[in-house]
Amino acid sequence: MNFHEYQAKQLFADYGIAVPAGRVARSPEEAVDAAKAIGGEAWMVKAQIHAGGRGKAGGVKYSKSFDEVREYAKGMLGTKMETYQSAGVALPVDSVLVTQATDIAQELYLSVMVDRSTQSITFIASADGGVEIEKTAVDNPDAIKTLIVNYVQGLQPYQTRDMGFALGLNAKQVGQLSKIMLGLYKLFNEKDLALVELNPLAILTDGNLAVLDGKINSDDNANFRHPELVEMRDIKQEDETEVLASKYDLNYVTMDGNIGCMVNGAGLAMSTMDVIKLEGGAPANFLDVGGGANKEKVTEAFKLILRSPDVKAIFVNIFGGIVRCDMIAEGIIAAVKEVGVKVPVIVRLEGTNVDAGKELLKNSGLAITSADDINDGAKKAVAAAAAA
């Protein structure tokens, strides 16, 4: 689950990490009121969407008067914004964050994530932060510093100091960075987060560190432990079909192809999409119906897939382990009848009672094509989509 910048900064503040004064606004007048309450002579008006790269897309504006605050807020609110990080999707701007404008001497980068290769929480930092951090990682990898945290010992203060000096900070700044890193580590663990990113973590002209922007992703599997985080969810920023899928406990990700995929098991789903690509096709989605696939889940899965007008064929690739293949076949037949599927459906079944399952599909009287294996199914799906 993703969070807006203003929500991330709220969480930072809760863990003792200093952030510039700011207020969220949902109308131009609220934005002006926020600037007046913050005080000062200049403010930043920042569009709130679940994507980075807002500055390049016109979503971050420096304002020197209340009239400019009003003008910039009016120009953002109620619009949709696409950035190089929004995967080609224009996201709605329903709120803006008005913050103190600060004088920046240098932009740093700091993030916390779980590194699967080391199975550890890892800090990544660079003295070259800002909008070009991705370019820095490619062109100057030595500028990227990594700290792997021992899962038994936890983050130690001396490690944060080592990181600060590696970034070229002075003693005062090292102390500030240490407080930020220890706070982030506590936040990351206590809230079951998947990613925290500070970009930029700035050195101001007065020599102090300041968190000017923040991004947080949480682990959806831990939502039951954090109702306070679930309340922050903004489904308007998410793919509508993916939101609907979550209501039925289906793992769905929208893609840009024309072959719908229905698979049980994430690994098998990834393999299915790979084979479709190898056969010259393009998957329209990732969809894992889980090991306990039944008629109800299969029916909802078909409905989700067919929400896309681009789908020209559907490849169902199911391994009958926990649930027998004949039961799965009965569910597929019932679901196709109920939904009224009008595109070709290719089904590959394997596992317990597979012969009985194939016989049911063969005698169903529906336009369902059986496949011998995953490769055969992918070939038939690609051919059906091309012929549609």
Dihedral, 182, 184, 185, 189 alpha carbons, nearest 10: 140
Query: Whats the size of the chain, residue-wise?
Result: 388
Is 185 a catalytic site residue?
Answer: no
Catalytic residue among 109, 185, 300, 330: 109
Residue 349's nearest CA partner among 340, 341, 359 is: 359
First to last CA, the chain: 37
Question: Do residues 346 and 380 touch, judged by C-beta distance below 8 A?
Answer: yes
Catalytic residue among 197, 300, 330, 350: 197
Using the structure block, give the residue that is written with the tokens 């969220």: 24
Q: What DSSP string describes 200-242?
A: EEEEETTS-EEE--EEEEE-GGGGGG-HHHHTT--GGGS-HHH
Distance CA 332, CA 345 (A): 10
Is 197 a catalytic site residue?
Answer: yes
Distance CA 30, CA 313 (A): 49
**Active-site positions?**
109, 197
